[in-house]
Amino acid sequence: MARAATVTARLVGPPGDVRGVVDVPPEARRSIVVAPGSRSGKDGSWPGARVLTAPAGVGATEVRLLLPDDTPPGPVDAEVLWDGGAIAATVEVLAEERVDVRPHDLRVVGAAGDEVPVQVHLTAHGNVAVDVPKVGVLAFERAETLQRAIVAALSADKGGLDRWAAAADAVADDQSGVARVVVTEGAGPLGPAEQRWLSAAVHVPTGLEPGSSHVATWLVAGTRVRVQVDVAAPPPGEETSVPPAPARSRRASTGSTGAATRSSSRSTSSRAPSRKPSSRPPSSEEPS
């Protein structure tokens, strides 16, 4: 079988979707085999690899090479073999970071200011290591914020941009605060095909009203995890009954005014002259 080594092809993509077009007639595409070249240092095959083909025009075929998820990134010399010959090719596997997280929807209960423990399971499906950070940021907002924003927009008195302004105001009003999620076990690089349990503590923002629900997105190794916190009442004995600042200000102002009034009254009283009874006897003269 003659080899057309001067004709080259290039197949590029992540491990599960390496694609390229080769000069093979569509009617002969079912005979196509993709094999690593001698310079790849392999035994002439990719374990678990599959080849899919599809017509790509007159005299051309699209080749799709499905490699194992953990196939290392980088170029590999290969050959596309078919009934009519061989084509020298380069298979370039791209780096892919892909992590499956379960569950991807967490719902916890905790009082404002608490640290609530959570746990998720990670499975790496990519071909490079992925870093799992120690600390993440959670931007909480009230649950069903989008629905309330839509209602606010539809209920606006005016149309046009005013509706958008009403929706934006509703979203802004529903922002609950920013908190941290700290990984207590499992942080660090996650290698290809590796599995791991991840333990973390979700910090519930302070000042949240008991009975309310708030949601945020936790980015775990590039995967979004929805976190919902249902705020519980604090345990008995931990409630704080601190009067609000405006009320304290008014009382202080009233007290100061009262004190000033009393001081003024005392000052006025001390300055007023005392009236003494007259020592002159009443007159006994009668008008003539």
Summarize pLDDT for 74-112 with one digit per residue, the tens.
998 999 999 988 999 999 999 999 999 999 999 999 999
Position 67 pLDDT exceeds 80: yes
- Of 77, 93, 109, which closes a domain? 93
Structure-model confidence comparison of residues 154 and 40, the more confident one:
154
Q: Report the mean per-residue pLDDT for the chain.
A: 80
For residue 16, what are the domain limits?
4-93
Find out whether 182 and 207 touch, Cβ atoms under 8 Å: no
Q: Are residues 31 and 132 in the same domain?
A: no
Q: Is 275 domain-assigned?
A: no
- Of 217, 232, 247, which closes a domain? 232
Q: Are residues 79 and 194 in the same domain?
A: no
Q: Is 121 domain-assigned?
A: yes
Q: Are residues 124 and 168 in the same domain?
A: yes
Q: Are residues 46 and 143 in the same domain?
A: no
Q: Are residues 73 and 113 in the same domain?
A: no
Q: Is 191 domain-assigned?
A: yes
Q: Is 248 domain-assigned?
A: no
CATH code of residue 37: 2.60.40
Of all residues in the chain, what percent carry a pLDDT higher than 70? 74
Total domains in the chain come to: 2
Q: Are residues 227 and 201 in the same domain?
A: yes
Torsion of CA 77, 81, 87, 92, to 10 degrees: -30
Least confident of 5-9, 59-63, 94-98, 190-194: 5-9
Q: DSSP string spanning 10-64?
A: EEEE-TT-EEEEES--GGGGGG-EEEE-GGGTS-SS-TT-EEEEEE-STT-EEEE
Q: Are residues 114 and 223 in the same domain?
A: yes
The answer for 48, left when phi > 0, alpha when psi is -120 to 50, beta otherwise, is left
How many of the other CB atoms lie within 10 Å of CB of 11?
Answer: 22
Of all residues in the chain, what percent carry a pLDDT higher than 90? 54
pLDDT of residue 156: 78
Q: Are residues 195 and 111 in the same domain?
A: yes
Summarize pLDDT for 195-230 with one digit per residue, the tens.
999 999 999 999 899 999 999 999 999 899 999 999
- How big is the chain, counted in residues? 288
Q: Is 222 domain-assigned?
A: yes
Omega before 235 cis (within 30°)? Answer: no
Summarize pLDDT for 127-147 with one digit per residue, the tens.
999 999 999 999 998 887 677
pLDDT of residue 112: 93
pLDDT of residue 172: 79
Q: Are residues 178 and 141 in the same domain?
A: yes
Average pLDDT over residues 183-187: 96
Per-residue pLDDT band at 244 (split at 50, 70, 90): very low
Per-residue pLDDT band at 238 (split at 50, 70, 90): low
Position 260 pLDDT exceeds 60: no
Per-residue pLDDT band at 239 (split at 50, 70, 90): low
pLDDT of residue 26: 94
Between the ranges 109-118, 165-174, 256-265, 279-288, where is the mean pLDDT highest? 109-118
Q: Are residues 89 and 196 in the same domain?
A: no
Q: Are residues 85 and 46 in the same domain?
A: yes
Q: Is 257 domain-assigned?
A: no
pLDDT of residue 246: 44
pLDDT of residue 137: 94
CATH code of residue 216: 2.60.40.10
Q: How far apart are CA 266 and CA 200, in angstroms?
A: 66
Q: Is 218 domain-assigned?
A: yes
Q: Are residues 144 and 224 in the same domain?
A: yes
- Of 64, 93, 122, which closes a domain? 93
